[in-house]
C-alpha cells in the first residue's frame, strides 16, 4: 500500500514535538511492513525540499510557521499545487493529520482519506494564539471536523475520541501510542534530594506558571528540592518564567535546561522523583509514558489526554482540582511518603511495558485494510 501523510511539521522542523515523533514512529513501521510512506510537511530555513528519514520520504513544498491566516492560506495553496503536479493519483490512501489547522484534503485529493487528529485543540487556540487569529483557528478546526464527520477518523486517546464523537464524527478508531526505548529493567537509583521534572515544549498551554507556584509551596517544606524545566520555548516566555522565579525567590532551585538530546533527557527522567504536568490538554502525553519507563511517576492536572496516559494511583496521581495548591498537595504525598513513592515508581515502570509502537502501527494498518483491502 502507498500511504501519503499530510502533516504541518516533521521531526526536523524547529517546532517539532510529540505529534511529529508519533507520526514518524508509525510511518517507519509501516515502511518496514512493506508499505511506501511519504509525508508532505512544511519547510524551514536550512531544510531540504526532499529527504529520506528512516526510509520515509519527507516532502516540503513551502515554508510554514503558523504565524498568520495569510501564511496558512499561502502554504495551503502551494501544498495543493504541489500535490496536483507531483503526487496526484500515485497513492492508495491519504492521512490528513489535522493538528489544529485542516488541510481540507477531500476537496483536492483523488485517494481515500483518513483523518488523524491527535487532539482537538479547543481552548488551546485561546491560550497559544493571539486574537483574532485564535477565533479563526478555532472556527476552522470545528468546521473541518463537522464537514468531514462521515469520513473515518483515527486518533490516540479516548479523550480525543470523545471530543470527536461529540462533534458528530461517525467512525473513530483509537490506537495507543508506544515508547521510543525499552523500559528500564528495574527502577533506577534516584536523585539524593527531591528532583522534579517538567518536560515538553515550554508554551502557555503547558501552564508552567502553575508548576512554579506549586514548587514555591513545596520549597518551604523541602528546602533542597529542585525543579528542572526541559524543553524549547520562545525566549520572551522563558524570560517571563525566570522573572517569576525571582519574584518567588526560587530562582536558585529552578533550572531551565532547554532542549536536551534523548540520552540526556532519559538520564534526567531516571533520576527524577516526579514528573509534573499542568498542561491544558494533550493528545496523549508521550512524556508521561517515557517517565514511567524510567521508573518515574507523574503528578498531573486531570485534563484530556493525561487522564488516558496516567493510570491514576498506578503510573501517577491525577489532581481532583486543577490548581497549584492541589498540584503541590499531590506532589507532597510522594515526596513525604517514601513507601508510596517506591510503590508508584515500580508500578509506573510495570505499566510502561504495555506500550508498543509496533502494536500501534498494526492497529492503524488494520484500519487501512478496512478501507482498501490488501
- Per residue in 48-96, pLDDT (tens digit) is 999 999 999 999 999 998 778 889 999 999 999 999 999 999 999 999 9
The packing angle between helices 357-371 and 18-32, to 10°, is: 70
Residue 13, all three cell numbers:
522542523
pLDDT by residue for the chain (374 residues), tens digit each? 999 999 999 999 988 888 999 999 999 999 999 999 999 999 999 999 999 999 999 999 999 987 788 899 999 999 999 999 999 999 999 999 987 788 999 999 999 999 999 999 999 999 988 888 899 989 999 999 999 999 999 999 999 999 999 999 999 999 999 998 999 999 999 999 999 999 999 999 999 999 999 999 999 999 999 999 999 998 999 999 999 999 999 999 999 999 999 999 999 999 999 999 999 999 999 999 999 999 999 999 999 999 999 988 888 999 999 999 999 999 999 999 999 999 999 999 999 999 999 999 999 999 888 887 65
The pLDDT of residue 44 is: 92
SS3 274: strand
d(CA 260, CA 257): 7
The pLDDT of residue 370 is: 86
Q: What are phi and psi of 38, to 5 degrees?
A: -125, 145
Q: Which helix (H) or strand (E) holds 159?
A: helix 158-166
Pairing of strands 56-59, 254-258: unpaired
Record: fold of 2-178+356-371: Rossmann fold (3.40.50)
The pLDDT of residue 314 is: 84
Give the residue range(s) of CATH 3.40.50.2000 domains in the chain.
2-178+356-371, 195-352
Residue 282, all three cell numbers:
494533550
Of the CATH numbers 3.90.930.12, 3.40.50.1260, 1.20.1640.10, 3.40.50.2000, which one belongs to the domain with range 195-352?
Answer: 3.40.50.2000
For 183-202, letters b (16+ CB in 10 Å) and e give: bbeebeebeeebbbbbbbbb
Amino acid at each position: 500500500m502507498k500511504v501519503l501523510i499530510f502533516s504541518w511539521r516533521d521531526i526536523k522542523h524547529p517546532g517539532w514535538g510529540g505529534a511529529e515523533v508519533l507520526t514518524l514512529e508509525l510511518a517507519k513501521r509501516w515502511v518496514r511492513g512493506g508499505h511506501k510512506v511519504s509525508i508532505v510537511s512544511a519547510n524551514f530555513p536550512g531544510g531540504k525540499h526532499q529527504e529520506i528519514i528512516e526510509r520515509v520520504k519527507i516532502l516540503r513544498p513551502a515554508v510554514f510557521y503558523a504565524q498568520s491566516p495569510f501564511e496558512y492560506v499561502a502554504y495551503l495553496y502551494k501544498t495543493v499545487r504541489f500535490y496536483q503536479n507531483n503526487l496526484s493519483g500515485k497513492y492508495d490512501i491519504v492521512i490528513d493529520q489535522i493538528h489544529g489547522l485542516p488541510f481540507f484534503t477531500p476537496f483536492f485529493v483523488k485517494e481515500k482519506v483518513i483523518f488523524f487528529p491527535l487532539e482537538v485543540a479547543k481552548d488551546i487556540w485561546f491560550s497559544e494564539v493571539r486574537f483574532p487569529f485564535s477565533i479563526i483557528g478555532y472556527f476552522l478546526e470545528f468546521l473541518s471536523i463537522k464537514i468531514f464527520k462521515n469520513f473515518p477518523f483515527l486518533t490516540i486517546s479516548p479523550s480525543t475520541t470523545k471530543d470527536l464523537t461529540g462533534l458528530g464524527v461517525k467512525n473513530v478508531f483509537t490506537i495507543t501510542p508506544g515508547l521510543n526505548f525499552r523500559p528500564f529493567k528495574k527502577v533506577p537509583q534516584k536523585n539524593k534530594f527531591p528532583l522534579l521534572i517538567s518536560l515538553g515544549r515550554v508554551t502557555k498551554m503547558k501552564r508552567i506558571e502553575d508548576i512554579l507556584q506549586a514548587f514555591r509551596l513545596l520549597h518551604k517544606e523541602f528546602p533542597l528540592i529542585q525543579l528542572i524545566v526541559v524543553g524549547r520555548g520562545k525566549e520572551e516566555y522563558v524570560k517571563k518564567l525566570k522573572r517569576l522565579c525571582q519574584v518567588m525567590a526560587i530562582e536558585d532551585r529552578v533550572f531551565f535546561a532547554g532542549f536536551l538530546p534523548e540520552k540526556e533527557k532519559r538520564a534526567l527522567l531516571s533520576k527524577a522523583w516526579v514528573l509534573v504536568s499542568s498542561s491544558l490538554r494533550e493528545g496523549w502525553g508521550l512524556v508521561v509514558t517515557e517517565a514511567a519507563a524510567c521508573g518515574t511517576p507523574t503528578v498531573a492536572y486531570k485534563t484530556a489526554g493525561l487522564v488516558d496516559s496516567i493510570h491514576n494511583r498506578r503510573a501517577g496521581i491525577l489532581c481532583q482540582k486543577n490548581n497549584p495548591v492541589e498540584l503541590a498537595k499531590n506532589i507532597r504525598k510522594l515526596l513525604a511518603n517514601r513507601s508510596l513513592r517506591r510503590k508508584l515508581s515500580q508500578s509506573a515502570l510495570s505499566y510502561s511495558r504495555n506500550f508498543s509502537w509496533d502494536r500501534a502501527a498494526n492497529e492503524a494498518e488494520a484500519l487501512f485494510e478496512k478501507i482498501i483491502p490488501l
